[in-house]
Amino acid sequence: NAGCGATDLHPRMLRVDLDPLALPDYLSSPDKLPFAGNTFSIAVSQEVLEHLREPQLALAELARVVRPGGLLYLQTPFIIGYHAAPADYWRFTNEGLAAMLQRAGLVVETLEPAVGPGTGLYRIIVEFVAVSAARLYAPAYLPAKGVAAALLTPLRWFDSWLIVGE
């Protein structure tokens, strides 16, 4: 799990992150993985590429460490509010992501949205409220974000209705 943060997906899955507070198995960046090529049958990276100055390097590394016939599960944002951790560089369309994956030598089997337009709107408004509150009083960011998230959760329920053909 490259860029795992605090997430522990499975006891057998190695956790890689730059943040020592996340207590990863390996302290490393997704664009410089400390593994030999063709090592893993599956690699995962969720909501990480947008934080990398050169996401194509991370995709090349993930492609390098996944053995032939293996799988890469990748989740990237398209509609989401700005969220520095420590930086926020990119957003990805399906077409752009497919092109990047193919450039990395990967075969795209399935490419679909993880969230719908209701969740996209929810994320943008929640972040807008939190950042606006923080401009008035810096410590208000997290409390404002929590309150906005709780109050606006119903927006996410529109995803199943708005995503046509799902």
On the question of pLDDT at 161 being above 90, the answer is no
| Whether this model's pTM surpasses 0.85 | no
23, 67 Cβ separation under 8 angstroms:
no
* Nearest-angstrom CA–CA distance, 112 and 102: 16
Chain segment 36-83, per-residue pLDDT in tens: 999 999 999 999 999 999 999 999 999 999 999 999 999 998 888 788
